[in-house]
Amino acid sequence: MRYGYLFPGQGAQYPGMGRDLAETYPEARQVFEEADEALGFSLSELCWSGTVDQLALTEHTQPAILTHSVATLRVLEKLGAPAPVAAAGHSLGEYSAHVAAGTLSFANAVRTVRSRGRFMQEAVPVGVGAMAAIIGFEPDQLDEVLQDTARGEVLSAANLNSPGQTVIAGHAGAVARAVEQAREKGARKAVPLTVSAPFHCSLMEPAAEGLAEVLGRVEFSSPAVPVFANVDGGPVLSGDRARALLLEQVCAPVRWIDVITRMIEAGVESFVEIGPGKVLSGLSKRIDRKVPASAAGDVPGVEKIMAGFGRDSDG
């Protein structure tokens, strides 16, 4: 079985995240300790005892999810999980995928995403931007709505998550108008999202400027396995290309349908989502139901995944 590893992005965080892994597996605890040292404060305490509101702060959310994801990955590696043939991550999760592929060291990645989170939070004043999920709507219908409701403001697709599910972002007024019109035109759901900033649209340009300086100081290696990029869905095979696409990703839409499709075309036969939540494994099934997908982010999930690997290896 040829596995593709997937890593979650912002929104997967929850209080207590990673605690059971760290209490059960030394490899997971070591990752949390490394994060604490790299960041200069106790991220582990924030993950395990922090409130929903504390974890929702973007500069906390991003290193927390990356750390939980890498801790889960290290446990799976220690237990003998098969190496992936490809990796990908949704938005922030692309950094986790590059840690898995050896493109970035974990310490550099966790410091970088904390800065990334802070830059993204500071790029747009609170209340100026917004995001919304549009579900059950054809792409050409959505394009029409976005063109009709922008009215000179920023408004664009931010996450192309699965057929029939797109997240939009931009100025708050434009997003509100798009939500109203999408409902009127028959979208099954058009729901404003509780987010701290309008991610993956041109309003994030100030964040990209700050991140460019940080990424320029970080060492990148060539990935050991292809990492499929959010920006174009294609495989990243060099460190320089990884750096360029992680920067471009800040303002560009996440083309998740393309990512999953291209990974399957490249030979991935089964997906494993590694880290908090099960959103990506669910999305991959909506994109292609023929390819199985599972998730591991806690002790029961790790045990179930390892049992599944054993059955696969037995034929």
Sign of the torsion formed by the C-alpha atoms of 27, 31, 37 and 42: negative
Name the residue ranges covered by the structural domains of the chain. 3-123+203-313, 129-195
pLDDT at 309: 86
The listed CATH number (3.40.50.1820, 3.40.50.720, 3.30.70.250, 3.40.630.30) that belongs to domain 129-195: 3.30.70.250
3-state helix, strand, coil split of the chain in percent (to 5) is 50, 15, 30
Residues with a catalytic annotation lie at: 91, 200
> DSSP state, 203?
G
CB-facing half-sphere around the CA of 67: CA atoms within 13 A: 39
Structure tokens at 132: 């919304």
pLDDT at 315: 37
Cα separation of 205 and 284, whole Å?
29
Give the position of tokens 């990334």. 116
pTM of the predicted model, to two decimals? 0.95
Q: What is the pLDDT along the chain (315 residues), one digit of tens a residue?
A: 999 999 999 999 999 999 999 999 999 999 999 999 999 999 999 999 999 999 999 999 999 999 999 999 999 999 999 999 999 999 999 999 999 999 999 999 999 999 999 999 999 998 899 999 999 998 889 999 999 999 999 999 999 999 999 999 999 999 999 999 999 999 999 999 988 899 999 999 999 999 999 999 999 999 999 999 999 999 999 999 999 999 999 999 999 999 999 999 999 999 999 999 999 999 999 999 999 999 999 999 999 999 988 665 443
CB-facing half-sphere around the CA of 133: CA atoms within 13 A: 13
The listed CATH number (3.40.366.10, 3.40.640.10, 3.40.228.10, 3.40.630.30) that belongs to domain 3-123+203-313: 3.40.366.10
> Exposed, middle or buried: residue 153 (CB in 10 Å: 0-12, 13-18, 19+)?
middle
> Exposed, middle or buried: residue 40 (CB in 10 Å: 0-12, 13-18, 19+)?
exposed
Cα separation of 287 and 264, whole Å?
10
pLDDT at 313: 44
Q: Residue 287: name the closest of 259, 266, 252 by CA.
A: 259
Structure tokens at 224: 């050991």
